[in-house]
Structure 1
């Protein structure tokens, strides 16, 4: 592109550059999380020096140079924010497997993927473990009978549990729970089969726990007033408590692309605050003289903001809800200062606030899907803002619902498919016939129930919610049961989502004809995704599970155990089979207690248990490598991956190399980061 064309293109961006600040800030965060080595003191001093130099040159440079320097400074700010946050949340991580007594205060109650009640404890004490080596927070799944105490927030309890450090990625380059646990402050996870014992009643001081107890009381009251699935759904969208929802209901909502209705995010926050804003404006307009003498629009905006704060507090204040509140707060703040409320500038400001508070949110599906949908909707409706509608009013509203669902679904579909490996084919239809009820019935009824709660009449509002909720659940079950309702897709390479993001943002944000350059970037990303290839063999972090790719899909070495790894592998393969079904596929030659399989012309032995491991080690001379799930001494000339080695390097991917099997570990992909370092 000639220099004059570049200057002309940049000149056309005047007034449209602010959203790029959020993009560059997010780029800096992404660079930090993409590193393979944790920056040390010298790196940080170098970054500071670069920032100072850019700031010094900025005041003397030409306009084009200033733009470049500003881009560098914003990117460095994002990078530094992520690094600061990673060090701020640093806490003790358990360095070994622990079995014994665990004492702590319950600060959170939820459910695990296996539907077991799960408690998160702080103020943790472990038997015979000094405080300096004790994690600050642990999470324990309760698999035993809870006959002695029903868990409540604030209780100090004691139990006997199995704890271990948070697990790493289930495969190289896969989802890294260890990083999430680092930012969640979890130093250990585990389970117990023994009952909880109560040491102390819940404390009455502390705003956080008081709000949590209030949430649980509201949740229990809602489910008492609306028994069954309707009450569980109502509780989930009002308090964030999903404990009452059973697995089939959740699966149906996911298969019909209605699971987003459970997450208290932008949809719910927008519907609730929008209803309060509209109701207050109508009320003020109905009062003689008030609309003329009072700034009714601004008063309504303040009332909606207050409603948003209350909803944020009562819903648990998770990351998705915080993000949604920031977005609506930006919108109503614009109303208060007489600016246009819904613009890409407001979305960019919301993204900057969210990322400044929680930079780790950038890598999660919640942030990506939320802002993908919001940016797409704002861009599309911004382009249609000046177009007059000449059809009937009902068609205008109906078309708006269909268009909104289509645009949001199209924008979030690649992100959802990349993270969850599922494509619900009838999601648009399910949303078109369900989302309007959320806005017209469910959320207004929830506000009504909250207003009537002090008078003991909340049942009126909850009763209005029930038919609409049952309709939504019925739609979910019906759509999920249709043939071909759900298909599975392979996980994309790590470059695909960044390329899709860059291409999509370029199309939306760039002004002028050069925005078409985003199209080829999007196409290139989709071509890379279509050409994705999965590893020939995978080994779990424990060494107890191996998966080998066959013509029928990945064959697993066992039908039970290491369930999370098995489920993740099959999902990433785009395979809808269960672990039991995958275990029936033929890929292993079983000889006694040994399993043999071939990768790249080399034989690999896999064994579980002491006796089988001894046989594998004895026969290691005839194999390229050996995988066992116990600690073992490596015979001379053998390449053995035992429990000790796997604990250090994580799960394995095995591919065909030039000289036989080529092994890549999870540690090779994550590198030396704060969350991947082994505790001493």
Structure 2
């Protein structure tokens, strides 16, 4: 199913009716092979069925969620209802609005949701979910990747039905209070967050509130960075750890309470009743946490496990993990591309298979032997929890480290130590205290439980700060190629699922993945989507044309390079020379100039006379030929998005666009890669487009 879903997402053009008819035919063929074919065809039939089902589920989900995307920039009044409050990376408050009204924009062209960062003086504003707000804001469509093959925010925004993002610098006003019954859960979450922060206070209070409600609006960027550097950021995401702990607390507590009453213990299926109680508690936690993707994924996994208890099946097995994955891929196929999904299932599969091998339970597809289990039984009782903690942290850390490094370009050197110090406190103090506080709130007796929760969160934040400050606490890694994670998944699953010498066949894909990663090459030149910043790869690292501007894109470039430098530091590296409005550089055999600022277009012909390539941060006049040089300007970049340049030798240059897929989230617009030839004085620049599979239009001969 994951292969089918991934195939749908990797297509360069939106699949049409014929593709879905073909997928339906494959699906029916799979059914026929399973039910009518020979026994040897059953497994291939199931594989074809799942492959087609994953493809069709992804297409259905995309078309069901399709909503208008803002076409171009907008400045003017914005009215909408608050559905989410969080913080941007700049640490400013950010509002997500639905029921949006934009001036002079028809309702059928208005985005379903917009997200606005609050700049300037907004101290008067006390936003709450359900309120209708009015503001004057700058909006634009969600940006695409900052470089070819990078994270696609535009795709993620599409599946969140987010059709515009922007900011306001003028005070926003509350236009109307929440209507009765509207946003009841979100308002309750805001009330709980405010109450917890008032009782605990400071960063521990904000951390505790985030654990209970999923609302991170009160957590500062410095604390978030400490958590990331120490590999403890997963404690903030209400995911498998939190849901598992909460469900386990209620399951164990209910089972113990019922077993303590003989008249109930002898007449009721205590274990199944406890499973129902845990399911209900998990559902309430899911609602209070805001129902984000990670929490929904965790609840599905816990529900499958507790459902196995209700049906007298083994709760912790690779089959239950696979069933949870199937459900999630049907409900939210886009989750396959998210690091949370990949890390959750990598950790869960590793834990189930690893403990099966160590304890000899046979959970991993029949693997595991009695020898290991006997060894564990001979271990002193006091040592078993310690061994279990170390083993679980090691298995989960090894399984998730490559995935986290691929997505976030960093490896935490002391992440295992930090988790060994923090996770036990989360499981034995913080989460039990949170569950107890929730039960005692109606009686006004929650204060002792909140005190215990505060001490636990203070310890976790102290560990995060301590580990983050250690020398070399983080090792940067470059962005891997597209094949690395699929090869790692293929090889790892093969070694887990097969028994005997055949399991070793999974090792070559893993080694190949790491070899590809080690040999990954980064683009020679990167240009932002507005042409304002150019990044040149040098022996000292990527040099930048300016110390300010394009901060998000620049940060992503450097992280993808495996470079922890700040923009200011990268801007002073050798590579560029000349004044700020006319930055000159060379790469390969190409002489290039970036020009910007007032009157840049007027200087185009003069600059072009002494360069092979000119990058103009603006629009070149349509009726003016630049001269004997190649030109990249805002008109071309509007079609391509950010671009990378590679010197192919022989006077040829390859331009790869970030906007290379004509999909629903791009409005069906895309550009093909181009091969540019070195211009000659007597001839104009030559451009040869490489058409992609869709046969997209060539870029005009004169950009």
> Normalising by the residue count of structure 1, what TM-score does the alignment of the two structures yield?
0.93
Pick one of 634, 655, 663 that aligns with 1:663: 655
What's the offset of the Cα at 1:230? 1.2
Corresponding residue for residue 413 of structure 1: 401
What's the offset of the Cα at 1:131? 1.8
Corresponding residue for residue 602 of structure 2: 614
Matches within 5 A, 1:390-429: 390-429=378-417
Larger deviation: 587-596 or 169-178?
Answer: 587-596
CA distance in 2, matches of 1:372, 1:615: 55
Matched, 1:653 2:627: no
CA distance in 1, matches of 2:176, 2:481: 50
CA distance in 2, matches of 1:260, 1:99: 37
Matched, 1:319 2:276: no
Pick one of 9, 17, 24 that aligns with 1:41: 17
Kept after mapping to 2: 8 A contact 1:156/1:199: yes
Higher relative contact order (CA 8 A, sep 6+): 1
Kept after mapping to 2: 8 A contact 1:330/1:346: yes
Kept after mapping to 1: 8 A contact 2:89/2:221: no
Corresponding residue for residue 452 of structure 1: 440
CA distance in 2, matches of 1:608, 1:203: 50
CA distance in 1, matches of 2:638, 2:391: 50
Kept after mapping to 2: 8 A contact 1:648/1:678: no
Kept after mapping to 1: 8 A contact 2:662/2:669: no
Matched, 1:352 2:326: yes
Pick one of 44, 51, 55 that aligns with 1:75: 51
Kept after mapping to 1: 8 A contact 2:581/2:594: no
CA distance in 2, matches of 1:576, 1:49: 49
* Deviations 1:211-235 (CA, angstroms, capped at 9, x unpaired): 0000010000001000111111111
What's the offset of the Cα at 1:158? 1.0
CA distance in 1, matches of 2:606, 2:667: 33
* Deviations 1:616-666 (CA, angstroms, capped at 9, x unpaired): 344224433322222222543553222232121111111111323321111
CA distance in 2, matches of 1:244, 1:382: 41
Alignment CA distance shift 1:457-1:676 (3 Å): same
Kept after mapping to 2: 8 A contact 1:540/1:651: yes
CA distance in 1, matches of 2:35, 2:500: 28
Number of residue pairs matched by the alignment: 652
Matched, 1:264 2:238: yes
CA distance in 2, matches of 1:481, 1:298: 47
* Deviations 1:381-412 (CA, angstroms, capped at 9, x unpaired): 11223303212212110010000000000000
Corresponding residue for residue 157 of structure 2: 181
What's the offset of the Cα at 1:585? 1.0
How large is the RMSD of aligned CA atoms in angstroms?
1.6
Matched, 1:639 2:639: no
**Unaligned ranges ≥5, structure 1:** 1-24
* Deviations 1:46-69 (CA, angstroms, capped at 9, x unpaired): 322333344445544222223222
Secondary structure of residue in 1 paired with 2:66: coil
What's the offset of the Cα at 1:510? 2.4
Matched, 1:594 2:585: no
Pick one of 465, 482, 486 that aligns with 2:474: 486
Corresponding residue for residue 269 of structure 2: 295
Kept after mapping to 1: 8 A contact 2:122/2:171: yes
* Deviations 1:116-163 (CA, angstroms, capped at 9, x unpaired): 100011111111222232211110000122255321111111111000
Corresponding residue for residue 84 of structure 1: 60
Matches within 5 A, 1:89-488: 89-206=65-182, 209-386=183-360, 387-388=373-374, 389-488=377-476
Secondary structure of residue in 2 paired with 1:526: helix
Kept after mapping to 2: 8 A contact 1:154/1:202: yes
Corresponding residue for residue 12 of structure 1: none
What's the offset of the Cα at 1:72? 1.2
What's the offset of the Cα at 1:555? 0.8
Kept after mapping to 1: 8 A contact 2:94/2:117: yes
What's the offset of the Cα at 1:596? 1.6
CA distance in 1, matches of 2:204, 2:35: 61
Secondary structure of residue in 2 paired with 1:293: coil
Kept after mapping to 1: 8 A contact 2:28/2:49: no
CA distance in 2, matches of 1:320, 1:327: 11
Larger deviation: 169-178 or 548-557?
Answer: 548-557
Secondary structure of residue in 2 paired with 1:171: coil
Secondary structure of residue in 2 paired with 1:30: helix
Pick one of 648, 653, 662 that aligns with 1:672: 662
* Deviations 1:254-277 (CA, angstroms, capped at 9, x unpaired): 111111111100000001110111
Matches within 5 A, 1:489-500: 489-500=477-488
What's the offset of the Cα at 1:481? 1.1
Alignment CA distance shift 1:494-1:88 (3 Å): same
Alignment CA distance shift 1:679-1:537 (3 Å): closer
CA distance in 1, matches of 2:293, 2:612: 46
> Normalising by the residue count of structure 2, what TM-score does the alignment of the two structures yield?
0.90
Larger deviation: 474-483 or 46-55?
Answer: 46-55
What's the offset of the Cα at 1:677? 2.5
Secondary structure of residue in 1 paired with 2:129: coil
Secondary structure of residue in 2 paired with 1:289: helix
**Unaligned ranges ≥5, structure 2:** 361-372, 671-703
CA distance in 2, matches of 1:613, 1:202: 51
What's the offset of the Cα at 1:592? 7.2
Secondary structure of residue in 1 paired with 2:262: coil
Corresponding residue for residue 509 of structure 2: 521
